[in-house]
Structure 1
Amino acid sequence: MPTSFSQPIPDFKKAPYTAIISDLHLTEAEPVRVRFPLWKKFKTRQFFFDDVFESFLKHIEEKAQGAPIELVLNGDIFDFDSVLRLPDEPVFHVGWLEKHRGLYPREERSRFKIEVILKDHAEFVRALREFILRGHRAIFVMGNHDLELHFPEVQEEIYRHLNLPEHKRQEVRFVEWFYISNQDTLIEHGNQYDPYCMCEDPVNPFVRGYNFVSLKLPFGNLACRYIMNGMGFFNPHVDTNYIMSLPEYIRFFFKYVAKAQPGLVLTWFWGAVVTLLHSFFDRLAAPIRNPLKIEDRVSYIAEKANAEPRMVRELKELFVDPAASNPFLLARELWLDRAFIIFIAFFLIFQLMVFVRSVYEISFFWAFIPLFLLLPFFLFYSKSVTSLVSGYKEPDDRVLAMASAITKAQRIVFGHTHHTRHEIIGSVEHLNSGCWSPAFLDVECTKPLDQKTFVWISPGESGSRQAELFRFEDGKSELLINPGRA
């Protein structure tokens, strides 16, 4: 993907005040369905928080007492995977799968999607623009759901909507996966340590297809696109909404889904198959690399992140292996292993019944006897298989220690998990800014999770900066956790 490395980059290395938020998951507004109002209710305008974001910006300005603020939007600010809207008169061919599950991650399509998001969230754009005009700056760290920010045209579309003067335009920056604030804080979205959501190569994120350039998406993104986009009663922002046991799925189906989507099992099955196949073939695709420009690319990423080129290369070594390396693991996460067992059982029993009926005149209802005999074994297997998706999200102690040693930062801030954290692990202060996404524990959207949290870093009494974790609510911030310092 052509990128200019010659443009001047303003000095972002000093920042007395830094505010960090993540996982806003801004996406298109879902129209309310009269017959089935619970279908993707969490995506409707009822739960937009653009006005809260504007109030938040004014609040942190009061906390900084007029000093410049560095606002770090730490990944998954935009949710490209949930956008299903299509252009009225597309200048590109829209395939059947795109019509049902969203446009592919290609530059012209991604630009259309960010335009849809920004138009639906005009109040968010206006608030951010005015914040920057008042003397502050904003840094977008790319997460797994907004990897399409890698496309230069997508970044340009954001600049166009912000409509900033040229000298203020430089106060907005896009960084690939990490950012070092004031030389004391390493900020990452954190998906690079989650095998289901990691970008295989954020230095070279593009792959070439036949007559097009595309992004290689992680397994988690593909599952959101091809499965969750077709199962509107499941909220993708809360793991427990879609990772359930078999009895829980059955109860959920009859309570919410049976009338609105009786063919849910088929929707899940073909979506899971598409996800598995897409993950497998994407894994085989080689990224576009230009050996003559790789050092320029690394230096450019480092300069934007306030880092050194060696830090870019060394931090890459901490990435986990993508889950797509193990198709059997993905099949198990998608429940395709259980579907395969059921298919084989029915096939063998059918063949057995055909053979028996060729000798004896018996009813096919006798086939239920071996099915009932096999059922306890199937349930035992299903119960023994646990999902590993949520278990990989928090980086381990080794990653924190190594990242701190590489960047010389004693504080590391992540997002991605949607769970707030503030703890001291060894010599490293670890925080997680939580989320702002429309996350609810129930389909009716009456049980919201704790959200609208942020990390606030300000000058401390000893001269060094201190970090605190807050929840923002009703125009005020409440301190959440304040661990003891070792």
Structure 2
Amino acid sequence: MRYRQAPYSPDSEVAAMLDALRDEMAQGTARGAGRHELTLVLNGDVFDFDAPRVIDQKSVFHDLPRSAEHAVPAMRAILADHPVFIEALGRVVADGHTVVFISGNHDVQLTLPEVRDLVRARVVDAALAALGEAPRSDEAHEAHEAHEAHARASLGARVVFRAWFHKTPDGIIVEHGNQYDAYCSYRYPMVPFGRKPGEIQPTMGSLVCRLLVSRMGYFNPHVDSSFMLSAFGYLAHWARYYMFSRRSLAVAWALGALRTVVELVRRREPGRRARLRESLAAAAQETGAPLRAVARHARLFAPPAEDRLGLVARELWLDRAILGLLAVAVALVWVLLAPGWLAPAALVAPAGLVVYERLVPKLPLDATWQRVSRAARQVARAHRARAVVFGHTHTPEGVWEGGLFFGNTGSWSAAFQDVACTKPVFAARPLVWLKSDPRAGKAARLSGGLVTWKSGRFEALAASVPPPAGQRSEPLAPLPPHATAALRT
């Protein structure tokens, strides 16, 4: 799990990029074209609550309840472990800009008020430090308290949270995108709770991460190709890392897969109209979007995996394992009981497994990512948006279609091609940066698109302005995994 260690964290790169953005805003304002303001959107999965906890410098597996009782200490530890990142956010807020945190499937705990309060307080502390607002002497204590309370309220208003999506005044929709992935979607993203009040319902993706992938130390959850393997690929992986060790890949898989299914069944919360109405109303109130548009948006969700257990068994290879065991058992019984001349018929059972594999192919991960990408177009229609930006898939994108922009913020996570973490999947860091003139209101023209941060510079990767009517900018080839920010000025 070297990818979890401090030397491989992108904190310093994020901080340098944010400082460069602040400089861009300051220079734009100095040119006399009005004040340039930045809305920095951290588009989900910024914090990983599904990763093993670190206790006494060791990774400790867990499946703790997703409640404030456990989420607050975890968030406190994460923030303490990443001061460079928090200080950089504080400088953005201190400059008068806004930071928006969107909940992703790995940090859905950001919907909890207690977690939001903690994050906001830490960012405000960093902003006060950037402004030089250090505690003063006792003689001015009362005056200082009143001043600090006012400053905190003002700065805190610039730290915004969105449980589902963020909508800007100039028609940009930013959303993590997990709601279109059955393995990671929530029935009610604004109130993602199960049967116990205040305890978030686990998704299949969350359970697999906690109970399966994180317990297999040679898999990197930030690199899909490290764990989405074929049967031969898993066999080769076992031979390379486990065959001569005391650890069992098969036992870790079997226990994790079975526990995942059991937890999905045990905690399943059927759909309820009252909860749905509550979620839609909360989204409209939080984002300012019309309720009708929010309702159309919600109809695009993929049903949670807990409603599709056959799909879950297929994804976890449980169906093939069970059918394989049955095929072997039937073949053995046939060989033992049938006349010798009928013994070859025992091959019918294994052949049936091959036929099943052919007739019911496993849905490739790319198909899920394509569904997420297609949903962006439907979201744009639901809100009459001028741009839709997702994350989740780890694949940066940026394309203008008919005057609308569709993008994906990609990933800044510790993604490497090798276990030793010496070969990054991509050297450049992606983000979406859109610009408009707020003085023009809804008529403001959008420009910008997908860019990368590399070697201390921003580089555009797609057309920065919409192409002429009827034309489409060329989409980008897949770049790196998990960009944390969709940006606009």
The TM-score with structure 2 as length reference comes to: 0.78
What secondary structure, in the 3-state scheme, does the structure 2 residue paired with 1:101 have?
coil
> Given the superposition, is the C-alpha separation of residues 261 and 150 from structure 1 closer, same or farther in structure 2, using an over 3 Å criterion?
farther
- What is the deviation of 1:275? 0.8
Name the residue aligned to 2:205: 220
Q: In the alignment, is the contact (CA less than 8 A) between 2:171 and 2:386 conserved in 1? A: yes
Name the residue aligned to 1:437: 413
Please tell me the residue identity of whatever aligns with 2:309. P
After superposition, the CA RMSD in angstroms is 3.2
If asked which structure has higher relative contact order (CA below 8 Å, sep 6+), I would say: 1
Distance 1:371 1:171 in 2: 69
Unpaired segments of 5 or more residues in structure 2? Answer: 30-35, 126-151, 472-489
Name the residue aligned to 1:43: 4
Distance 2:446 2:400 in 1: 16
- What is the deviation of 1:99? 6.7
Distance 1:220 1:400 in 2: 21
Q: Does 2:221 match 1:253?
A: no
Name the residue aligned to 1:464: 445
Q: In the alignment, is the contact (CA less than 8 A) between 2:331 and 2:347 conserved in 1? A: no
Name the residue aligned to 1:331: 313
Q: In the alignment, is the contact (CA less than 8 A) between 1:173 and 1:304 conserved in 2? A: no
Q: Does 2:313 match 1:316?
A: no
Name the residue aligned to 1:178: 165
Distance 2:60 2:405 in 1: 45
Name the residue aligned to 1:202: 189
Name the residue aligned to 1:110: 71
Distance 2:96 2:4 in 1: 32
Equivalent residue pairs, number: 424
Q: In the alignment, is the contact (CA less than 8 A) between 2:328 and 2:350 conserved in 1? A: no
The 5 Å alignment of 1:375-414 reads: 378=353, 382=357, 385-395=361-371, 399-414=375-390
Name the residue aligned to 1:264: 249
Name the residue aligned to 2:148: none
Q: Does 2:224 match 1:239?
A: yes
Deviates more, 1:399-408 or 1:76-85: 399-408
2:51 to 82, 94, 101: 82
Deviates more, 1:72-81 or 1:191-200: 191-200
Q: In the alignment, is the contact (CA less than 8 A) between 1:204 and 1:287 conserved in 2? A: no
Please tell me the residue identity of whatever aligns with 1:455. V
What secondary structure, in the 3-state scheme, does the structure 2 residue paired with 1:236 have?
coil
1:357-393 CA-partner distances (Å, limit 9, x unpaired): xx99xxxxxx9x9998866765675577333433122
What secondary structure, in the 3-state scheme, does the structure 2 residue paired with 1:187 have?
strand
Unpaired segments of 5 or more residues in structure 1? Answer: 1-39, 89-97, 361-366
Q: In the alignment, is the contact (CA less than 8 A) between 1:140 and 1:173 conserved in 2? A: yes
1:452 to 425, 429, 443: 429
Name the residue aligned to 2:330: 348
Deviates more, 1:388-397 or 1:123-132: 388-397
1:3-43 CA-partner distances (Å, limit 9, x unpaired): xxxxxxxxxxxxxxxxxxxxxxxxxxxxxxxxxxxxx1211
- Give percent identity, aligned residues only: 28
> Given the superposition, is the C-alpha separation of residues 355 and 324 from structure 1 closer, same or farther in structure 2, using an over 3 Å criterion?
same
1:414-453 CA-partner distances (Å, limit 9, x unpaired): 1111111112345532111111111223323233223521
Please tell me the residue identity of whatever aligns with 1:262. R
Distance 1:336 1:253 in 2: 18
The TM-score with structure 1 as length reference comes to: 0.78
Distance 1:338 1:50 in 2: 42
Distance 1:290 1:409 in 2: 26
Q: In the alignment, is the contact (CA less than 8 A) between 2:187 and 2:304 conserved in 1? A: yes
Deviates more, 1:398-407 or 1:370-379: 370-379
What secondary structure, in the 3-state scheme, does the structure 2 residue paired with 1:80 have?
coil
1:230-256 CA-partner distances (Å, limit 9, x unpaired): 111111122221111111111111122
What secondary structure, in the 3-state scheme, does the structure 2 residue paired with 1:206 have?
coil
- What is the deviation of 1:411? 1.2
- What is the deviation of 1:193? 1.3
